[in-house]
Structure 1
Amino acid sequence: MENSELSELCYPQLNASCRTPKQPHGHAMVIYMLLSSISLFTVALNLLVIFAISYFRQSLTTTLIMNQVQLHTPTNLLLLSMSVSDLLVGLLLMPVEIIYIEACWHLGDLACTLYYVADYVITSASVANIVLISADRFVAISEPLYYLSQVTNRRAWVAVGLCWFCSFIYRLLLLHDHLGEPSRSISCLGECVVIIGNVAGTVDLVFTFILPVVAILMLYLRVFVIAVSQARGIHSRMGAVHALRLVKRSELKAARTLGIVVVVFLISFIPYYSPTMAGKDTSVSATSVAFEIWLTHINSCLNPIVYALFYPWFRKSIKLIVTLQILKPGSRDAKIL
């Protein structure tokens, strides 16, 4: 009996050892299959977005010929940045949490803290990218002439770089106590837990959730109002500006897509921040299957699905990729817009 109990410990020879996480066999198999599928889909879908934007030349050029609807280059770069952050979620974060469903953490306290720094940096960058995309759509539809002349590739890259850099610095400041003392949240050997105090959690709630949500909603509402107003003006003039009407219709579709992204974002992140909203500390563990953590990660799987459903250029590019049409000469110049 004693040997059986010792075998359940992460470190059988140490009294301070945690017990090995265990799930009923059938339950564990379902969890493994479900979460592995989510991870695989997240990686595959975001790789498709990254490849589509990077490979096809037309999606990276700014053209407006007759009835040709343009897909702005800066928008593509922001989508690319968000797809990279979502890809890292499926490629790095999800597999770690799947591995430790029924395993102890043997990589040490510092590696545990660094894992959560990476987790939070990637998540913050993803949120910041959504804000940048909403701002990009707002400028594109409210000031189209300014957008074409001032919103350049260079400035989009600078915005993306600042997005990632600020996310990194912000998370280092928020988790500096854990970096200085990696074992501060560890109650026993073999677990990987980070406890965010209520004060730090409140700061994180404001900067990573409330302010981005307010900014996204305000920009989205302005985009929607302007799009509706322009659509009515175009409708009153009917055939005078047929090409412009097509462009504005595409902008309205982009606004609707952005709204769906916002709703998905809210559903994904509200459960994670619910302890902070209730005035409690937030405990995040890599050695347990936490519903609220996986819900935030599933957001990275849903984003490319939203693009696939609502962007015709993406659907066309996926069809060319899946049917191996990209192996043909000149496929990079295929018309997907």
Structure 2
Amino acid sequence: MSSSPGIKPREHVDMMYISIETAIALASVLGNVLVVLVVCVNRALRNTTFCFIVSLAVADIAVGVLVIPLAIIISLGFSTQFYTCLFLSCLLLIITQSSILSLLAIAIDRYLRVKIPTRYNIIVTHGRAYVAVFLCWILSFLTGLVPMIGWNNRDALGNLSSSDEIVCEFTTVIRMDYMVYFNFFGWVVVPLTIMITLYAEIFRVIRRQLNRRAEATCDGDRYYRKELKLAKSLALVVFLFAVCWLPIHIMNCIDFFCPKCHVPKFAMYVGIFMSHVNSALNPMVYAFRIKRFRVTLVQLVRGCILCKHSEPTPCRTSTPALTEKADGNL
């Protein structure tokens, strides 16, 4: 098989990996663009929780637009300068880190909503939610760019000049102790542990409130039932994140703590594939688990994407009656 200059001939497993990654990228971009559009269309969804969900959707769109193409490019093993390759690798870390911080923000938001329901709207305003989203992305940039300020493999590669080129691979420029101790233990395990603790407390509080039916009003009972359904959906998003991301990090740990252990290339590709497919799964969770999201999504698809040119009236992006009806349902 012929190849472009500077690119190694592709193995069959590599080509399969590139094909699957391309399909995931398209699904991720399409699904998460629809998430953003649904929130824009339905005013009832423009609350603080969906503000964080939009932030997560933007991160997942970036996975499809930037992370996956960059991962494919890096997998091709092209030659470039060290810091160019390092910067491209850091972009992958920044965008993926923003996903878990958005999930953490969602968990904290839901915890406050059930823990202090009477003061929630006073404490968690839209302005503060926007600040929290901004801080999530700033923190993602700061943690993702740590290798750029010295925690990298430049010294291990010998005396490289600024003009020297290397074969650009993620593990060539990113140190594995950074990936294991800082990225995984510090910025994956810790946030996931906090989220699991928060959702466990959320379910405990909701169950306790629902068990007090004799003391609770109908409105209170309805409030906590809605919160329980939404909490289950968002907890499922966290569970899928853990299932999709832990394999690649576990393989990194094996590679770091057991250098003699061989991780097959196919297994590594499956791990990368699972971490990226997570971005395409989130819109499906919203669509199947959150009724008001699903109603607006169906309305959007029917009214705009599938509208026929023969219809005399233009497509409407929202229907007030439907929006009001959707607001009362999950």
TM class, shorter-length: 0.7 to 0.9
**Which of 10, 13, 28 is the aligned partner of 1:42?**
28
- Residues 146-161 of structure 1 mapped to structure 2, 5 A cutoff: 146-161=119-134
1:331 maps to a residue whose letter is S
Matched, 1:312 2:268: no
Note the C-alpha offset of 1:198: 2.2
Matched, 1:331 2:318: yes
Matched, 1:20 2:8: yes
Q: Normalising to structure 2: TM-score of the pair?
A: 0.81
| Structure 2 partner of 1:58 | 44
Q: The residue matched to 1:22 in structure 2 has which SS?
A: coil
2:204 maps to a residue whose letter is V
Distance 1:182 1:301, change over 3 A: farther
Q: The residue matched to 2:212 in structure 1 has which SS?
A: helix
Mapped contact 2:114–2:227 kept (Cα < 8 A): yes
Distance 1:183 1:77, change over 3 A: farther
Q: The residue matched to 2:300 in structure 1 has which SS?
A: helix
Distance 1:217 1:28, change over 3 A: closer
Matched, 1:169 2:155: no
Deviates more, 1:264-273 or 1:157-166: 264-273
Q: Percent identity?
A: 25
How many residue pairs match? The answer is: 304
Q: Normalising to structure 1: TM-score of the pair?
A: 0.79
Distance 1:141 1:10, change over 3 A: same
Note the C-alpha offset of 1:135: 0.6
1:204 maps to a residue whose letter is N
- Residues 134-145 of structure 1 mapped to structure 2, 5 A cutoff: 134-145=107-118
- Residues 1-337 of structure 1 mapped to structure 2, 5 A cutoff: 10-11=5-6, 20-24=8-12, 30-60=16-46, 73-98=47-72, 103-177=76-150, 181=154, 184=157, 189-193=166-170, 194-198=173-177, 201-234=180-213, 236-237=214-215, 241-278=217-254, 280=256, 290-324=269-303, 328-329=315-316, 331=318, 333=320, 334-335=322-323, 336-337=326-327
Query: Unpaired segments of 5 or more residues in structure 2?
Result: 260-264, 306-313
Q: The residue matched to 2:150 in structure 1 has which SS?
A: helix
Note the C-alpha offset of 1:51: 0.9
Question: What whole-Å deviation, never above 9, does each CA across 1:195-235 have from its counterpart, x for those lacking one?
Answer: 3232562122222111111100110000000111111112x
What value does the CA root-mean-square deviation take over the aligned residues?
3.2
Counterparts of 1:109 and 1:242 in 2: how far apart (Å)? Answer: 63
Mapped contact 1:121–1:168 kept (Cα < 8 A): yes
